[in-house]
Amino acid sequence: MSAETVKIDVQPSASDKSLGQARVTADFTMHNTGDAAEDMAVRFPIGASDGFFKVNELHDLQVKVNGQPIRTRRIDGEDPYNGSDPVPWAEFDVAFPPGQDVPVEVQYTLEASGEYPFIWFKYVLSTGAAWKDTIGSADIIVQLPYPADIQNILTDSPGIVTGTTPGGALNGNSLRWHYENLEPTTQDNFEVNLVMPAAWQRLLTEQKNVTANPLDGEAWGRLGKLCKEMAFSSRGKGFRVGSMDPGAAELYDRSLQAYERAVTLLPKDAQWHAGYADALAYHAYFKAFEGADTTEEALHSMREIQTALALSPHDPKVQEIAQRIASSFPDAIQHAGDAYVFSWLTATPPAVEVASQAPTEIAQVQAASETPTTVPTSTLQQLPTASAAAPVSKPSAPFCGSALIFPMLLGGLLLAGNAKRRN
């Protein structure tokens, strides 16, 4: 195989049942280095196990050899990702004259795997090892329908099953990987982790809304919520924000700025206060395990949720977030029935011990659609003020746990031959 170029064109929209789609074009340049013509059956996988006893297949397969469409036939073959269980492959016949290049083009539609708001696409390179010698040059190009950056491409994904293949170069709307003389193994199989295109498009829309209407508190709140969801992972270790994911840190900062504008413009909106508290508490809780001093962040969270409870004490979403924060900081907030006592905001608490290690599972960042209710501003005057800062404790029990995600191959692109919410 002299060359291989794979273009993964991420589509701007998909059906309501889809997390995202990409149109993939794989161009292969094959060269017969021998003195005799070779006729052989060429094949590549069109399906793989999703880890849940189901085989997912790519769609709309089209193959061209020497620029001409060619028929394919369906056969069973070994799963290139998950062992020896049979999965469907496409097979087609190709003639390779001696000393000549033979271009082979494969196109198909690939469904994304993942869980809101993150997805991934995979591409199998390892089957290229079946051909003689190395792959002379290989390029993988991921094209987004908007500028690609570290906020919408997860360069490091501690809360996701696996991360984006390192080494990609950002340029405009694309991200590109280049290899020379590649003898691929399974370690070279490619993956890119992204924010769901539909979710990122909503973020771009809300950013335009606040730019055009900077006094629109609702738009600022929606922007804050979206940035929060994209900064934190709903599974695994708990959050994107970390020393290896600067894009997530940028999103978290954007979330706080947007929430601050929302509660300033809409001071009586309980749910935006609660959403702000949620972001602050979530980050303070987990960053403390990295050794960061998140005391002020935690106290800010408690003031915001205290305000939300004063404004709308029976709002289900406010109660949900308040309970979650209380369970995460039990020394700081005591909860009995519908009443909350904010110890850290009224008195200096005793020193607390720091847990030795972070939890491995967390609750999903919740979304909601309830219309918030408000109470007179006089209620706010009853809120106590902070008298002392307290150290952030790491509770023995984390947010409620959640099931693990299994990786899903949404289309491996390999040529293989028989030759070698609201708040």
pLDDT per position as a tens digit, 185-221: 777 788 898 999 999 999 999 999 999 999 999 999 9
Task: Kindly tell me if the per-residue pLDDT of 380 is higher than 70.
Answer: no
Q: Per-residue pLDDT averaged across 90-118, rounded?
A: 92
* % of residues, the chain, pLDDT over 70: 75
Q: What's the CATH code of the domain at 180?
A: 2.60.40.3680
Which range of residues forms the domain containing residue 74?
3-195+405-417
Cis ω for the linkage preceding 117 (within 30 of 0):
yes
111 and 205 both lie in a single domain: no
Q: How far is CA 244 from the centre of its chain?
A: 15
The reply to whether 238 falls in a domain is yes
pLDDT of residue 307: 97
Of residues 173, 259, 175, 169, the one with CA closest to residue 221: 259
DSSP string, 87-108: EEEEEEEEEE-BT-EEEEEEEE
The reply to whether 42 falls in a domain is yes
144 and 211 both lie in a single domain: no
The reply to whether 171 falls in a domain is yes
| 296 contacts 389 by C-beta, under 8 angstroms | yes
177 and 228 both lie in a single domain: no
pLDDT of residue 303: 96
Q: HSE of 58 in the Cβ direction (CA atoms, 13 Å)? A: 29
Radius of gyration of the chain from its Cα atoms, rounded to whole angstroms:
26
Q: What's the CATH code of the domain at 307?
A: 1.25.40.10
Separation of alpha carbons 395 and 285, rounded Å: 9
Average pLDDT over all residues of the chain: 78
Q: Which of the two residues, 108 and 16, has the higher pLDDT score?
A: 108
Position 312 confidence tier, pLDDT thresholds 50, 70, 90: very high
Task: Kindly tell me if the per-residue pLDDT of 368 is higher than 50.
Answer: no
184 and 221 both lie in a single domain: no
Which residues, in sequence order, are bridge partners of residue 140? 6, 177
Position 82 confidence tier, pLDDT thresholds 50, 70, 90: low
Q: How many domains does the chain have?
A: 2
- Read off the tokens for 349: 């608490």
pLDDT of residue 188: 79
Q: Order of strands across the sheet with 21-31?
A: 68-69, 59-65, 101-111, 21-31, 3-10, 135-143, 174-182, 169-171
The string of pLDDT tens digits covering residues 58-78 is 999 999 999 999 999 999 888
The reply to whether 397 falls in a domain is no
412 and 276 both lie in a single domain: no
| 333 contacts 343 by C-beta, under 8 angstroms | yes
DSSP string, 148-207: --TTTB-SS-TTSSS-PPTT-EEETTEEEEEEEEE---GGG-EEEEEE-HHHHHHHHHHH
Task: Kindly tell me if the per-residue pLDDT of 29 is higher than 80.
Answer: yes
Highest mean pLDDT among 130-139, 208-217, 326-335, 378-387: 208-217
The reply to whether 392 falls in a domain is no
25 and 109 both lie in a single domain: yes
Task: Kindly tell me if the per-residue pLDDT of 382 is higher than 70.
Answer: no
Task: Kindly tell me if the per-residue pLDDT of 264 is higher than 90.
Answer: yes
284 and 229 both lie in a single domain: yes
Task: Kindly tell me if the per-residue pLDDT of 56 is higher than 90.
Answer: no
Task: Kindly tell me if the per-residue pLDDT of 172 is higher than 90.
Answer: yes
Separation of alpha carbons 214 and 194, rounded Å: 29
Element (H, E) at 346: helix 343-346
The reply to whether 422 falls in a domain is no
Helix, strand or coil, per DSSP, at residue 255: helix
The reply to whether 35 falls in a domain is yes
Helix, strand or coil, per DSSP, at residue 114: strand
Highest mean pLDDT among 15-29, 129-143, 215-229, 350-364: 215-229
Dihedral angle sign, alpha carbons of residues 350, 353, 358, 359:
negative
Of residues 171, 167, 150, the one with CA closest to residue 244: 150
Q: How many helices (H) and strands (E) does the chain have?
A: 7, 19
* % of residues, the chain, pLDDT over 90: 45
Separation of alpha carbons 121 and 153, rounded Å: 12
Q: Per-residue pLDDT averaged across 375-396, rounded?
A: 33
Q: Which residues contact 286 (CB under 8 A, 6 or more apart)?
A: 238, 239, 241, 358, 362
- Residue 357, burial from CB neighbour count under 10 angstroms (0-12, 13-18, 19+): exposed
Q: Which of the two residues, 291 and 268, has the higher pLDDT score?
A: 268
Position 256 confidence tier, pLDDT thresholds 50, 70, 90: very high
258 and 359 both lie in a single domain: yes
51 and 141 both lie in a single domain: yes
211 and 267 both lie in a single domain: yes
244 and 297 both lie in a single domain: yes
The reply to whether 250 falls in a domain is yes
Task: Kindly tell me if the per-residue pLDDT of 354 is higher than 50.
Answer: no
224 and 371 both lie in a single domain: yes
Q: Which of the two residues, 152 and 373, has the higher pLDDT score?
A: 152
